[in-house]
Each structure stands twice: as structure tokens, then as C-alpha cells.
Amino acid sequence: MGRRNRLMAMLTVFLALLLFLVINPGDDTLLATQIATFSATIIFIGHFLYNHIFWRMPPFNSIHNIIDISGNWKGKAIDEVGAETSFEMKVTQHFDDVKVKITGDEYISESLICRLKRESNGLFLYFMYRSRPIDKVTSKRDISFGSMIIRCDPDVLTGEFFTTKNDKNKIELYRD
């Protein structure tokens, strides 16, 4: 279940219990409903805080063995002939969700699917993205898709990406 679905499920339970409490304030089940509402509230707040804040802090970050790569990164892509192109990457990361937005001179790319995975030789970010021109899309050929495999270290990201335009580039990114 995705992060958004879990959030909606918890909110629905919370609102249903709260609504029941408002509709039946004099019923014999008042205490049980109050306890259930309080419990749902605590679970909701706890999940929200863990997902957004606590997972980054010791000792929780060592339990999951995931580093925080969120923030702004600057670097370059190097194509097969050695030509370099600079670009910026913004990573938004929560405990169970990662989103990536890449901005270059001419194109902007946004992640469609992202996954952080711990391998035997380090932490890797795998993602697929859609890329489009910054100015204006004039045809379907302006839009391309690609995939990236990035090795994640606290202050440097390195890897490769491949696109539907048959590009294959190496990348190096450093924290901004």
C-alpha cells in the first residue's frame, strides 16, 4: 500500500470515529469511542512524524540503513563522446517515498517511479522519468522517457541514465 493510500485509510478511520462520537455523544459506547478516537489520532500523528522526520534521526536511520539524499544536487552528465552537460536535481524523500526532478538547460524531467534499494555494494536509487522541453512541447517526439541507476553516498551521487532517444550518459552530482 502506498504512502497516500495509508494516509487516506488512517484519515478515514479517524474521521469515522470522530463523526460517530459527535452523532452519539450520550450512548453507552462513549468511552470506547473516545479511546478509539484518541488511539487513531496517536497512530496518525506517530506515522506522519516518523514518515517525515524521525526516520532521518539516530537511532532510526541506522535501523533502516537508508541515507537521506533529499535536497538539491548539482552536477554534470557525460555522454559517450565525452561532451558534458550541467544540470540540477532536486530530491524529495520521505521514509517510504522518493521523488526526483531534474532541470537542465533545455529539458525538465520528473520521476514516474522511484525506488531506493540497498545492494551488497551500497545504496542505489533506481528511477524512471519523463523528460520534456522547458519551453514548449511541439510534438510527441519532444517527450522522452528514461531510467537512471544512481549510487547514493551522503555527498555524491554517481551513475548512468538511458533514454528512449538512445542516449547513454554517466552522471556525477554533488550536494548544493
User: Can the peptide bond before residue 59 be classed as cis, meaning omega within 30 degrees of 0?
Assistant: yes
pTM of the model: 0.77
> pLDDT tens digits, residue range 75-126?
999 998 999 999 999 999 988 889 999 998 889 999 999 999 989 999 999 9
- Cα dist from 114 to 37, 101, 102, 104, 137, whole Å: 34, 11, 13, 20, 25
Dmax over CA atoms of the chain, in Å, equals 77
pLDDT in tens, 61-80: 888 778 899 999 999 999 98
Q: How many residues does the chain have?
A: 176
pLDDT tens profile 127-147? 999 999 988 777 777 899 999
Residue 13 has pLDDT above 80, yes or no: no
